[in-house]
Every structure is written in C-alpha cells, then in structure tokens.
Amino acid sequence: MFIHHVFFWLKEELSQEDIQKFETGVKSLLSIDHLVSGDVGKPAQTNRPVIDSSYSYSLLLQFTDESAHDAYQVDPVHLKFVDQCSPYWSKVLIYDFETI
C-alpha cells in the first residue's frame, strides 16, 4: 500500500465560512476513485511531548500503489481542491510512505 498523509495549517484570520469551504473541499477528496480508503480529521486532545498537534487538519489517504497516488494527483477533484482551497492554508506538510 501507498500512504499519503497531509497536514494543513489554516490561516488564523479565516472566517467560519472560509473554514467550512475548506472542510467541504478537503472532504471532496475522499470521493476520488483511485483511493482504497481515506479520512479527514483535526488533532486529537492527546498531550504527550512527542505529539505535534499544531496543525489544523489532517488528510490520510491509502492507495494500492504509487501509480494510483500519481493518478490522484492529477484527478480533476484534487486539482479543483488545490485551486480553490490553497488560499486558506499557510502551510502544508506531506508524508508519503509505502507499507513494508
């Protein structure tokens, strides 16, 4: 499996309407055919020194392989999300890995 884990830091000055637009946009990514599974969430309320919960939202996507991930990257739903929602975030950090 190929895992694509994305962390978003939203801009602090966003309105509730902007946040709702981001949430709708990021959830739309879960409809892309190339996915095995996916989920969107916010930081849990856990509190240990090794936990970084400074991000606003996390997107976790599972693909069968890297080629499915590559197809996702150029999918019109993904491209629309980036185009419409990138003004809402100040930082994005991505971790990709393949299961062993």
* Conformational region of residue 69, where left means phi above 0, alpha means psi within -120 to 50, and beta covers everything else: alpha
With a CB cutoff of 8 Å and minimum separation 6, the contacts of 63 are 1, 2, 3, 4, 34, 35, 36, 69, 72
Tell which residue, 72, 60, 57, 73, has the closest CA to residue 22: 57
Show pLDDT as tens, one digit a residue, over the chain (100 residues): 999 999 999 999 999 999 999 999 999 999 999 999 999 999 999 999 999 999 999 999 999 999 999 999 999 999 999 999 999 999 999 999 999 9
Which CATH number is 27's domain given? 3.30.70.100
Cα(42)–Cα(56) distance, integer angstroms: 6
The conformation of residue 33, written as its DSSP 8-state character, comes to T
With respect to residue 9, please indicate whether it lies within any of the assigned structural domains: yes
* Number of domains observed in the structure of the chain: 1
Q: Residue 49: inside a domain, yes or no?
A: no
Q: pTM for this one?
A: 0.94
Residue 24 falls inside a structural domain:
yes
